[in-house]
Structure 1
């Protein structure tokens, strides 16, 4: 009886690994790595170096806190910039199967990263650019290259100009993933997915490439900056080359489209290898990424491939792949029996399903995983695989791979049975939908009305039903229509509500399509009905009557008044549709109250009245021509407003012509003895009398007053000509007056 804790197979594996690997000398650190350039926004990019570090034999002193990447123009090797990349990440690379971990193999992933700018005015070369980081040295124990401990590494990528044909050209380099932490077993097929992804959905092509050595050396392991290309490749050992990097039968290959690595190694050792991933856009290569890595080949305990057979009910022999086809019909047994086993002791087996030429619901398995050949466990595991009743191949032959895999190291062994089948589903009927709208259609509504009715969706096959709503030629949600639904065990009930608002009057009829949908086996089945809703809306133009004067020759009438003269007008609006009416008055670039105007209205449904009153003020004089618009506005969806515009002007006061006397005779005969100005222009708002002054012929002021009723007797001055100056706040009068004695 084998021990429960550790099987003989795992004991043998551990002993083999402990004694197998012996390094010729202390290793340095580099396992491999690659550069990565990702667009962030605008001209900003993030450049990163993923460096894989030997966590077992690597020299801790070689773990750098930063590395420098250099960017060059491809056509000229002109250095564009050097960027110091700080260490931003340090983590272990995990095994595909943690149970296969060996103490001699552990890898760290070191990430050096920083944002940088690639300005559109600088990175314009049609030939593109490249980036490089140089670092030494590789592991001493590498088997397939010459002088591995003295060999450096040049991490390298190419990227296009950021401008093409005058337009921004955005590109992120392919991201190759994941890194490799597994080992390979001599004499057993090893495979690994190095396939990547591209943020721009460019086409990716993979090929093997000779790793680059570059210019770094043990004497200068970390150059301050990378030298420009070309970078010296590593030197292969005799018998090795780019197509025979890891010797095997077959040797190492990579899927050109998939990035899948595959090798059946025939020699033990530690082997470095390189791959190149090129990206194409519209058939033109725009960039590439290189990754160097290494794979350790060990002697492993023999692991036997598990086996599986498929039993079909009513058949006397197991299912024969490539010869038999399962035919699933309504009412037939849709389950088959899977029997799987493994001759190796204490093996855990697992089942997976992989549809080859179809998508959709997968069959179910009663057992996904189990252990064989342990105390108390069976030698053979049994699982029932049952196809869904509703799957429909529509006359085609669907192909399903059933895969059983063990937990062997370094990679699981698999047995695959490919099952071909056709399936006709059990009958499944469309759902049914009904509504309380009607029975007379279309429904009729006016703006402001609330439309509401119920909907019910059911399915004869008891499939879950969802109610859906859409507008034919319009967005139901944009017009505020809503459908709330509540599913129950037997049906789905919905309530449609729509408060009809004014935007709806522009479309005479709305067709709402309601659908009851079910998705048995992810295949949509639906039934629809249409509820039309007609919008009833009409509007008669309201009428405005007023005592304001009518327009004159198509121009607004002019109302003139003097200060102190009050003007009043009445306005009346009537609407036959009884829509709410509002009368308003607004001055053009002035407030009514500031110029002595007042507008008082009484508004209501179907009728509105107003009184306009104007008591002119000096402010109205300053503004000169006053334009007032009177508006009758109805509250409805498509209003038809009525307006009247009137101009108001303030007239100056009437006054006789100003003709001042030019002579007076203060000679004692009481005739024409005074100089007076009885016909002075009257004061008018901002035009007001300020002073009256009289001057001698030599400019000497002889009299001054601000009283418009003054009388000047000459003040005893000698006869002669004198000058007067009359100042108003906005004008001036000059003249002469003669004193005759």
Structure 2
């Protein structure tokens, strides 16, 4: 069996019925975004989808798309496209080859109409639309896991509002795609470019196709998810620039979008082209187009050589006909040939006869191939059909505002004609050039008369309507036309996309936004400009001043302790609000507030929308002082010491009575100097609020210390310990007792707190004479004496 037929059988097995039954395979497609043209933000979103024909394709009915902001991938909106129009088959020039390889593709168009708010689509980085679906052809030879790989349609578009003006733009448009296969080893070209309805520059480059994103990758669900979208996984040796191996490999002309290759490997290959849209050298949009080609081994059959002519125009390669008339194209007749006519390089549906009657302008060719072989085809020379008036289209520049504006209408695409312009069916006298400048609304067209052929045709119609009047309005943030003292007031304009402010007849510089913060009274006027450049002027908005208010808050009495009774707060003018700890309405409660210094306020608004003017007072709930001082104490005559009572309640005034022996009877800690006799002191304290306390101490003064010379520790309850009357007057006194050998048998703590009981380490000492020393205060000499211990 020849290699060619072996390959045909293999391809039919790989691309045939089993794969069609399992899935609807994506062949290619793209998204288009067409401005309707009647108002800003009004678009048709069109998804062109090339599918393998089959029962699964019959059930495809559209899906959900999302619009995202490029800057942060935020979702702006979702919408659903549904099928529109008639499904069309992809036409192959050699039907024998396409049927042998089960190349049965259809074109399905999904569409939705959107009204986008330009103000919401003003981000300078632009936006993108994505449509994710499943899944690719299992016979693809250049990517991994093709049946598990999805498909992401992708389009970028610019901000709809730029510098306060509407930005008009449609994405590139793409015509029908021919059904073609590539013969290995033969140069092959394919028109894959588009046109831009706005005249923008298009730049083409090869890119890696996009996979579907998310958990439903390759599955049956249509997800709406933001970028980034994963690339398909190329098999080893393949890439965006080597999607189809060849010498050279598959490439795209960066200016025209024409694909070219001389393939060196057989198989089915997927590829993608990025179409970037530039205006004035700046990129404004992008579309990705996916498709796939089959490379076959064409047998060395003699290529047919078709000849073509225009009927009744022998020797002519072009002819001119009037719009509505026809011309017949004739090709050499050979019953063994397939015929496929093309217009401007695109296969025409059901145009498979040796002759073709045409009424549309274009470059016509016929592709001829053997009926019973998959071989190289042959393309005839082109025949040019010129239809007078068919290319005359109207374009407009300008806009009709509610009462102003002008539009220039220009007829383009026609040559060798004269013009007569019409409005609403009436000819416009003297308007006989290729353009018309009008300030009126209506339906306009031009009648063209060809100067040589004599054809009379009519252009398409342009309907001009005036846009609604720009209604400029000013509103304040408070809803009032008055300015509060020492405050700013925000004025907000509406009605346009750009604004100019005036204050008392003078322009406010450097403000073009809708918001204006003012701190001056007067009359303000707003000029609003919409996205078309139409303007409207607001009514004057006069801002008057709110008179300032002087707020007074009566002084507050200090109170002693939280149990003091509540009292009324007083402020002026009336109608204000008291606030602060312990405040309830206009009453202050020391009990609710507690001890401390509490800041209270009285707030009065000059007007309901103004910030309050505030007066402040301090409410003092003072603590009641306390004095912690011993009731009595003892000392010795001539001693000098300090009285240091512990006081609370923040007293600021101290008074001691009597003041005898004191160095300062108004001190919190006075010094008692060289006390000479018993005395009682009274201390009175008072804090700033007047809260007071009193305490007393009695001081006993000893002139000398009584020292007994004997005691009898015999347990009879009388003189069992050696008592020293008056020793409490000497808190630093230390007693030391010695035996007759000079050994210390007793040493007291300061103040002699535990009297000597005649024992040593718990054992009774023998009766007899003992000596002692007494140290009372450092400045006095040590007293010495004898002590008789009796049993």
Q: Which has the higher contact order (CA 8 A, sep 6+)?
A: 1
Bigger Rg, structure 1 or 2: 2
Taking structure 2 as the reference length, the TM-score comes to: 0.40
- Give TM-score scaled by structure 1 length: 0.42
